[in-house]
């Protein structure tokens, strides 16, 4: 069974440029999470989806970050414009609603120059 | 969710048991103890969870004290591939409930 797929694995951009990350969760998982992980720290939740609905986006900086999960399957996280402080690993995870084991993708490492 | 305290780092000899402690003195009666680990350049991976009783699976054992204020994750025969950051998380089981990660313990397994 395929795990959570994320792309790209690495991205280097200059500040003020836009960037997008893509996530395909495990088949059948209707809960999808985006986490941000700064160097040396644990992941922090940005947004959680139940199917196509964003049910917890309180930690998402909405002035520059946006996310979508249009058909309740794969998801895109966008930053526009990127800032130097956005350099981090962006992790996607998925789970079945009602169960609690979250499966994580390998993450996208973003470097903003 | 209750806060957890873990040592920043630990070493373990290859083939020996690795015992990773976690304090969660403010844990509530309906909160479970979860352990995840994160190997370098990978996403976190679920290991085990428990409420009151000790638990064991193919990866590890979880020992929870009777007062539930602390727990220990045991890797019975650590290998080099077990080198990772181990996160102890205390949370209520709710559908879709997020994980709140702390700093974790960086376990280095040495030959």
Per-residue pLDDT reduced to its tens digit, B61-73: 999 999 999 999 9
Residues 6+ apart with CB under 8 A from A52: A69, A70, A71, A72
How many beta-carbon pairs under 8 angstroms link A with B? 53
Inter-chain CB proximity A44 and B101 less than 8 Å:
yes
Given a cut of 70, is residue B111 above it in pLDDT?
Answer: yes
A55, A101, A103 member nearest B96 (Cβ)? A55
Shortest alpha-carbon distance between residue A96 and chain B (Å)? 8
Contact B79, B91 (CB under 8 A): no
Inter-chain CB proximity B104 and A42 less than 8 Å:
yes
B43, B46, B97 member nearest A91 (Cβ)? B43
Helix and strand numbers (H, E) in chain B are 0, 9
Distance of CA B107 to the CA centre of its chain: 11
Distance CA A82, CA B75 (A): 41
| Contact list, B44 vs chain A (CB under 8 Å) | 43, 91, 93, 102, 104
A42, A98, A107 member nearest B101 (Cβ)? A42
Per-residue pLDDT reduced to its tens digit, B32-63: 999 999 999 999 999 999 999 899 999 999 99
pLDDT value at position A1? 65
Nearest Cα residue in chain B from A92: B43
Identify the helix (H) or strand (E) that includes residue A103.
strand A103-104
Q: What is the dihedral of CA B63, A35, A53, A65, to 10 degrees?
A: 160
Query: Considering chain B, what percentage of its residues have pLDDT values greater than 90?
Result: 82
In the predicted model, residues of chain A with pLDDT beneath 50 are none
């Amino acid at each position: 069974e395929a795990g959570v797929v994320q792309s790209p694995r690495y991205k280097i951009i200059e500040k003020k440029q836009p960037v997008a990350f893509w996530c395909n969760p495990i088949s059948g998982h209707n809960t999808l999470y985006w986490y941000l992980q700064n160097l040396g720290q644990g992941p922090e939740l940005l947004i959680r989806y139940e199917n196509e609905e964003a049910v917890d986006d309180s930690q998402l900086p909405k002035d520059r970050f946006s996310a979508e999960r249009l058909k309740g399957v794969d998801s895109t996280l966008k930053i526009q414009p990127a800032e130097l402080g956005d350099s981090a690993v962006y992790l996607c995870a998925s789970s079945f609603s009602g169960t609690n084991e979250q499966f994580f993708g390998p993450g996208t490492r973003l470097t903003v120059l | 969710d209750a806060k957890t305290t873990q040592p920043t780092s630990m070493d373990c000899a290859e083939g020996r048991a690795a015992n990773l402690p976690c304090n969660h003195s403010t844990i509530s009666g309906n909160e479970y103890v979860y352990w995840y680990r994160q190997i370098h350049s990978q996403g976190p991976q679920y290991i085990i969870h428990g409420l009151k009783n000790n638990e064991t699976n193919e990866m590890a054992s979880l020992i929870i004290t009777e007062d539930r204020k602390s727990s220990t994750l045991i890797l019975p025969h650590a290998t080099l591939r077990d080198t990772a950051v181990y996160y102890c998380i205390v949370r209520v089981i709710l559908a879709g409930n997020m994980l709140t990660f702390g700093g974790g313990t960086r376990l280095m397994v040495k030959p």
